[in-house]
Amino acid sequence: MLGLGLFTLIWAGCATSRSAPAVPGESVLAATAQAATVPPSPSVGPVDDVMATVCGEPIPMSSLCELLIEANGLPLAQQLIAEELVRQESVRRGVDVTEKEIQAESDLTLKQMFPQIDQAPQREQLLAQLLQQRNMTPKVWQIVMRRNALLRRMVADTVSIDQKQLEDEFAGEYGRKVRVRHIQVPTLQAAQEVLRRVNGGEDFLKILEEVSTSTTASEGGLLPPIGKTTPIPPAIREAALAMTEVGEVSQPVQTATAFHILKLEEIIKPQDVGLADVRGRIEDALLQRNVRNAQNALLMDLLKNADTQGHIQYVNPTLREQASQAKQSPSP
């Protein structure tokens, strides 16, 4: 699968696409080039083919590009491929977007990324910091936002909300929730042994520290509040919500890769809010989530179909090898 997450774009590539982002660190390179005041030799060729000159000797741009591609060119190449696939599909459907729509997509994405921040300038500052940390340029961000704005236009008429979704979303946000700790072990036998020790009076946290294989063990195995729609394995969600007394311990709960023993730590009572009071906000949040899911689904379909039909061909040999290796590597 192409790595297309908004913040997994570790861009260190060099591309010749019509929408290729500027090279990271370009201000440093520009300063270095400006300091090299010796003009290129007339025999060097077009100036675009030269990165810099040193005592009159040219360093070709191709040398820089190849090093950048070898370092980490594939993620950006995948972004440009995704952008081109979406562009071609939008042309086929007769869909286009304005700069205003692209900006709206960016604003909405930032609100979803930083929901605790009310002011747009503050969100922009946080984005700038994040892009710098990820070694991305604002132009890469614009590529992703234009692509997502086109996808939004293409899926807009396919997304809706039904009453059940609305009620489930309301129940998940405002209904009863619970806090539980869990001990994760690899086998049913190990889970049964944990349950035997707990029922025998041993301290749950002590056992957790000894045997739990979950990454939450360092936090005492405590999970975030669990409600009707909390995105966790359904077996854990159902078992947690079924418990009714603080201190209660579950039977072994199986998920795809492990077994869990849950202990109920807290019951969070439903909030005194009616659906009519918050209907507009919940509808908007649910609609945006459904749109985002539809955007992702359409993009994945375009990528899958193009890949299956052999329509994606890496011409650059380094990128071709990187793409081949990425396909052969198992997903984390």
Residue 253: give its domain's CATH number.
3.10.50.40
Quote the pLDDT of residue 326.
84
Give the global pTM.
Answer: 0.66
Mean pLDDT comparison of 48-57, 131-140, 238-247, highest-scoring range:
238-247
Dist CA 101 CA 89 (whole Å): 18
Q: What Cα–Cα distance (Å) separates residue 38 from each residue in 55, 56, 270?
A: 6, 6, 74
Query: Is a pLDDT exceeding 90 seen at residue 75?
Result: no
Note whether residue 169 is domain-resident.
no
pLDDT at 29 over 80: no
List the domain range (segments joined by +) for residue 84: 26-158+285-328
Q: Please say which residue of 221, 241, 268 terminates a domain.
A: 268
Q: Which residues pair with 263 in a beta bridge?
A: 181, 249
Where is 59: in which H helix or E strand? strand 57-60
Q: Is residue 244 assigned to a domain?
A: yes
Number of domains in the chain: 2
Q: Are 168 and 229 in contact (CB under 8 A)?
A: yes
Chain centre distance of CA 186: 28
Summarize pLDDT for 238-283 with one digit per residue, the tens. 999 999 999 999 999 999 889 999 999 999 999 889 999 999 999 9
If asked whether residues 297 and 259 sit together in one domain, one would say: no
Q: Specify whether 220 is located in the same domain as 320.
A: no
Per-residue burial over 253-279, b if 16 or more Cβ lie within 10 Å, else e, is: beeeebbbbbbbbeeeeeeeeeeeebe
With H, G, I as helix, E, B as strand and everything else as coil, classify residue 58: strand
For residues 21 and 139, is the Cβ–Cβ distance under 8 A? yes
Same domain, yes or no: 296 and 187? no
Q: Is there a single domain that holds both residue 129 and residue 36? A: yes
The model's pLDDT over 169-193, given as tens digits with 9 standing for 90+, comes to: 898 889 999 999 999 999 999 999 9
CA-to-CA dists, residue 272 to 169, 187, 197, 230, 301, angstroms: 16, 42, 40, 20, 42
Owner of token pair 């675009």: 48
Q: Report the pLDDT value the prediction gives residue 48, as an integer from 0 to 100.
A: 67
